[in-house]
């Protein structure tokens, strides 16, 4: 497995955002923290486990939690940002609002 640097992961996040028509969180410190979390998870597990969630114990079980996670699209549509707030909708980014804590769709009410 090839280790990934923070620069690699930053590029990955930019590519995901471009493909999905999202915006990467413009807060550089916050974004750097999440990018570092993704890099740590890649180098630990071999896949981009969400930096805001714990592993379920295997790649198979973690599949919905691999970035961009299975819940990101719905979260961005409903709240304007994903659970970690790495990705924002363009409208939310333009609003200048700060992302808030949102429920984890992994655990439906
Ligand atoms: S919540 Fe955001 S950063 Fe975390 S896996 Fe989903 S899309 Fe990626």
| Number of structural domains the chain divides into | 1
In a domain, 24, yes or no: yes
Taking alpha carbons only, the member of 103, 81, 84, 82 closest to residue 94 is 81
CATH number at residue 27: 3.90.460.10
For residue 16, the number of C-alpha atoms closer than 13 Å in the C-beta half-sphere is: 21
Kindly report the pTM of this predicted structure: 0.96
Residue 82: domain span = 6-95
In a domain, 61, yes or no: yes
C-alpha Rg value of the chain to the nearest Å: 13
Mutate to test the pocket of ligand 1, among 68, 89, 101, 107 (most ligand atoms within 8 A of CB): 68
24: which strand partners?
A: 87
In a domain, 100, yes or no: no
Distance from C-alpha of 90 to C-alpha of 64, rounded to nearest angstrom: 24
Q: How far is CA 84 from the centre of its chain?
A: 6
Q: What is the pLDDT of residues 8-42, one digit of tens each?
A: 999 999 999 999 999 999 999 999 999 999 999 99
In a domain, 102, yes or no: no
Question: What single DSSP character describes residue 64?
Answer: G
Distance from C-alpha of 41 to C-alpha of 30, rounded to nearest angstrom: 17
Distance from C-alpha of 49 to C-alpha of 66, rounded to nearest angstrom: 5
Backbone angles phi, psi at 70, to 5 degrees: -65, -15
In a domain, 108, yes or no: no
Q: What is the pLDDT of residues 33-42, one digit of tens each?
A: 999 999 999 9
Which residues form the pocket of ligand 1, taking CB atoms under 6 Å from any ligand atom?
50, 52, 67-69, 72, 82-84, 86-87
Q: Give the closest residue (by CA) to ligand 1 atom 4.
A: 50
């Amino acid at each position: 497995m090839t280790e990934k640097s923070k620069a690699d992961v930053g590029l990955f996040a930019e590519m995901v955002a471009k493909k999905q028509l999202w915006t990467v969180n413009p807060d550089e410190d916050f974004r750097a923290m999440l990018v570092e979390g993704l890099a740590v998870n890649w180098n630990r597990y071999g896949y981009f486990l969400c930096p805001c969630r714990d592993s379920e114990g295997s790649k198979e079980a973690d599949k919905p939690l691999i970035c961009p996670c299975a819940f990101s699209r719905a979260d961005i549509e409903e709240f304007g940002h994903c659970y970690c707030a790495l990705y924002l909708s363009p409208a939310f980014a333009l609003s200048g609002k700060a992302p808030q804590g949102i429920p984890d769709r992994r655990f439906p009410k």
